[in-house]
Amino acid sequence: MTMAGLLAPSILLLVAINAYPLVFAVGQSLHDGGITGAGDFVGLENYATALTDPAFWNAARFTLLFTVGSVAISWVIGMVFALVLRNPFPGRSVFRVLLLLPWVVPVVVSTTSWNFLVATPSSPLPVIFRWFGVDNVQFLADPTWAMIIVIVFKIWGSFPFMMLMMNAALQAVDHSVEEAALIDGASSWQKLRHVILPIIAKPIYISWVLAAIFTVNDFPTIYLLTGGGPVGATSTLVVFAYRLVFQDFRTGYGVAVAFLITLVIVAVSVYFFRRINRAAVAH
């Protein structure tokens, strides 16, 4: 009782700090106001508007592509490097540090560097394309190329996180289990698929959940690299919600979109946490 009494003020303060913005945001999502006022009560109209708005679904489609593509490919790359780094070789420590640079460098610096590489016809990458006979490639002005560049940039910045997660997970794999699989005649691919991956399934699911949350909520990558353009091709739901609130001054609608994003993240997290629990029981 003494411990509970001592903790109660802190717990109540934390609940109040987190609950007030949540309740206030819920209230805003049920009104049609802007930044200067809550406006009239409209109930669930903002949510209904979102679900019938083509711009919302365009942003949702790119958010799905952006998240699934970057998480899947960055995990594969991170897993490959984690497997490579398991074995000692000259310069391994230096190599590991170099691989971490895309993740630890501030995103403002990274996006500035990538803009230098691709933004104008005189940038290095368009020049290299012209060497191979491909002219007039507008990487950030063409919708398809802009989507590719944004996803590649996100993969480049995310694979070090996956590498660290998988490297830590691989430390828990008993080498005797791998040796037994090799003695039984398993190939390297069979050993990876049927021995290593099932053992580290729980950390894999956790890394996917965390990376998916980071990616869905990633505002600076999109905003600093393309601003959501061209013609909204690279606008994710987070960027879409930001524009609604701070550029179009449709606060109620923007907050409603933010809550829809939250619901999707929660649903995906619940699904993967169930898979995590099943993997833990199986292991």
pLDDT of residue 131 exceeding 60, the answer is: yes
Q: Which residues contact 156 (CB under 8 A, 6 or more apart)?
A: 102
Q: What is the mean pLDDT of residues 240-267?
A: 90
In tens, the pLDDT along 189-242 reads 888 888 888 888 888 988 999 999 999 999 999 998 888 888 889 999 999 999
What tokens appear for 184 in the block?
């039984």
Token pair 């411990």 is at which residue? 3
In tens, the pLDDT along 177-193 reads 777 877 777 788 888 88
Q: What Å distances lie between residue 34 and 39, 44, 91, 230, 244, CA to CA?
A: 7, 16, 57, 26, 10
Q: How many CB atoms lie within 10 A of CB 50?
A: 24
More confident residue, 167 or 36: 167
In tens, the pLDDT along 104-128 reads 888 888 888 888 888 777 788 888 8
Q: Which residues contact 159 (CB under 8 A, 6 or more apart)?
A: 73, 74, 75, 77, 78, 81, 99, 102
Q: What is the mean pLDDT of residues 242-254?
A: 89
For residues 200 and 217, what is the distance between their CA atoms, to the nearest angstrom? Answer: 26
pLDDT on residue 24: 83
Q: What Å distances lie between residue 137 and 30, 117, 147, 242, CA to CA?
A: 45, 13, 14, 29
Q: What is the mean pLDDT of residues 62-81?
A: 95
| H helix runs in the chain, sequence order | 2-29, 45-51, 54-86, 92-104, 107-118, 124-131, 143-170, 175-183, 188-191, 197-199, 201-216, 220-225, 237-246, 251-282
Sign of the C-alpha dihedral computed for residues 91, 92, 97 and 101 taken in this order? positive
Q: What is the mean pLDDT of residues 19-43?
A: 81
Domains and CATH numbers, the chain: 21-282 (1.10.3720.10)
